[in-house]
């Protein structure tokens, strides 16, 4: 695996990429299942849990607060494993958020019911990510918090809960984090949102999973209502991470190739499922084939790239996490693209709008930042260094462009370990390049 902070020569494909790939479990589902399991009254089992930096950080955070989590299957290089979760009374501790938005936004709401103080910190880049909305909302619900951004401390209090208003325009994670904890608040939770809520499918995912754990969640009169009550432990089966699949499907789109992602769920709330219609609109052929009667609801998704990729005009407000993949394809398209509704991406792992414009233009492209998005016009690209900004999706976007543009080097490809360990090795295998032999340890 490429060491951190080094430049990785992105493989260029001088032929159509043809491959079948398997994708690790959904980070979003894994970390929500872990939170719900930690708050439940009985043990839970999570099958297909993603093994990545973000999910490891969530496991460590919950363990630090007293939850018992055991790995029920060996890692052995596989992207998934089985977790056995035994809930315990939450206690004080120290939490390393890394750069994981789900940890820094989901864990403070449950820390508010811990028996001791919980200290939060993370990577330097995490300290500038928006946190004020969720911390202010927790204070309004009765929490005692020192600080307005990382690092901060959540101190123990008595009763918590009730009605609160939150500015959710910066991240849907603010809403999901409070909803996940609401049933354990003595007064329950009524949550009113102010401003447009981005990435609504992630909130729908949260509500669906809470209901499957026995939580009463209703939406009416412009508010979410979570009734105080028991969460029940259960067995979770984690779907493949469809957003992580999108760079591999994009490889077919930009090389006139054919890539199949195995095990694509057809009844899912994951926003990554929208990549199918996006690829079709850009000129690709998209085929969804059932795997067989013994795997109901599971298909293999195949994408065949067109002779020429077309640009797209698209409101991506609900699917902002797909923006780096779509922007990379747009930079290689034959007509202009406008991706809008994504002003909230300025508060992601990095300011993704500014980063995409800077890096596409660094390679000779013509990208312009808009008030709520990005415009990309066709232009011949050349090789050069593509900076990742410690952002896993920026790194994979550089890899996509590198397939068609020889000489692209991606800085810190190891940052993809946030959600996709060994991405660089899997990408090289997909392209058909031999892997470099590992050096013997000294």
The helix (run of H) or strand (run of E) holding residue 164 is strand 162-167
- Beginning with the edge strand found earlier in the chain, give each strand of the sheet holding 313-315 in spatial order: 313-315, 337-340, 373-377, 366-370
171 annotated ligand binder: yes
Strands 217-220 and 223-226: antiparallel
Judge whether 68 counts as a catalytic residue: no
What sign for the dihedral angle of Cα 207, 209, 215, 216? Answer: positive
**Could you tell me how far CA 275 lies from the centroid of its own chain?**
15
Residue 348 known to bind ligand: yes
88 is in an annotated binding site: no
Q: Confirm or deny that 225 is annotated as ligand binding.
A: no
Q: Annotated binding residue at 418?
A: yes
Question: What Cα–Cα distance (Å) separates residue 430 from each residue in 52, 222, 238, 262, 355?
Answer: 20, 46, 24, 14, 26
308 is in an annotated binding site: no
Angle formed by the axes of helices 101-111 and 173-182, nearest 10°: 30
Q: Is 184 annotated as a binding residue?
A: no
Q: Is 32 annotated as a binding residue?
A: yes
Catalytic entry in 239, 304, 321, 411: 321
> Residue 240: which residues within 8 A CB-CB, separation 6 or more?
22, 23, 24, 25, 26, 261, 263, 264, 265
* Residue 247 to residue 326: CA distance in whole angstroms: 9
User: Residue 441: which residues within 8 A CB-CB, separation 6 or more?
Assistant: none
The two three-digit tokens of residue 148, written as one number: 């307005």
28 is known to lie in a ligand binding site:
yes
129 is in an annotated binding site: yes
Q: Does 214 belong to an annotated binding site?
A: no
27 in a known ligand binding site: yes
Place of tokens 């992602």: 261
Is 199 marked within a binding site?
Answer: yes
What residues are designated binding site for 3-phosphoshikimate? 27-28, 32, 171-173, 199, 321, 348
Active-site amino acid positions: 321
What residues are designated binding site? 27-28, 32, 101, 129, 171-173, 199, 321, 348, 352, 393, 418
What residues are designated binding site for phosphoenolpyruvate? 27, 101, 129, 173, 352, 393, 418
């Amino acid at each position: 695996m490429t060491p951190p902070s080094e430049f990785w020569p992105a493989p260029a494909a001088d032929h159509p990429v043809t491959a079948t790939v398997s994708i690790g479990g959904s980070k979003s589902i894994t970390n929500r299942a872990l939170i719900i399991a930690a708050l439940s009254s009985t043990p839970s089992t999570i099958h297909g849990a993603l093994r990545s930096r973000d999910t490891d950080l969530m496991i460590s955070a919950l363990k630090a607060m007293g939850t018992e989590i055991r790995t029920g299957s060996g890692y052995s290089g596989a992207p998934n494993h089985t977790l056995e979760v035994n809930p315990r009374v939450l206690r004080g501790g120290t939490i390393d958020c890394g750069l994981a938005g789900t940890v820094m936004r989901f864990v403070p709401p449950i820390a508010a019911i811990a028996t001791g103080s919980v200290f939060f910190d993370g990577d330097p880049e995490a300290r500038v990510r928006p946190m004020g909305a969720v911390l202010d909302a927790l204070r309004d619900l009765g929490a005692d918090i020192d600080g307005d951004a990382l690092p901060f401390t959540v101190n123990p209090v008595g009763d918590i809960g009730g009605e609160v208003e939150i500015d959710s325009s910066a991240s849907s994670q603010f809403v999901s984090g409070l909803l996940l904890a609401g049933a354990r608040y003595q007064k329950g939770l009524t949550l009113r949102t102010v401003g447009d809520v981005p990435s609504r499918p992630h909130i729908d995912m949260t509500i669906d999973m809470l209901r499957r754990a026995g939580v009463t969640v209703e939406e009416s009169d412009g508010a979410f209502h979570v009734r105080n009550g028991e969460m029940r432990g259960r067995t979770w089966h984690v779907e493949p991470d469809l957003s992580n699949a999108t760079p591999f499907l994009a490889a077919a789109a930009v090389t006139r190739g054919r890539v199949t992602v195995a095990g694509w769920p057809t009844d899912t709330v994951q926003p990554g499922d929208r990549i199918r219609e996006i690829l079709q609109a850009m000129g690709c052929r998209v085929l969804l084939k059932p795997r067989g009667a013994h795997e109901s609801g599971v298909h293999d998704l195949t994408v065949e790239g067109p002779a020429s990729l077309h640009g797209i005009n698209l409101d991506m407000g609900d699917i902002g996490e797909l923006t780096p993949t779509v922007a990379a394809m747009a930079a290689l398209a034959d007509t202009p693209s406008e991706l809008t509704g994504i002003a909230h991406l300025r508060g992601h792992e990095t300011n993704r709008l500014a980063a995409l414009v800077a890096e596409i233009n660094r390679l000779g492209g013509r990208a312009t930042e808009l008030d709520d998005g990005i415009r990309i016009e066709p232009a011949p690209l050349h090789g050069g260094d593509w900076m990742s900004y410690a952002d896993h999706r920026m790194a994979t976007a550089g890899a996509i462009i590198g397939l068609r543009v020889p000489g692209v080097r991606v800085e810190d490809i190891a940052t993809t370990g946030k959600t996709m360990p060994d991405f660089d090795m899997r990408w090289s295998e997909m392209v058909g390049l031999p892997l470099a032999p590992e050096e013997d340890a000294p």
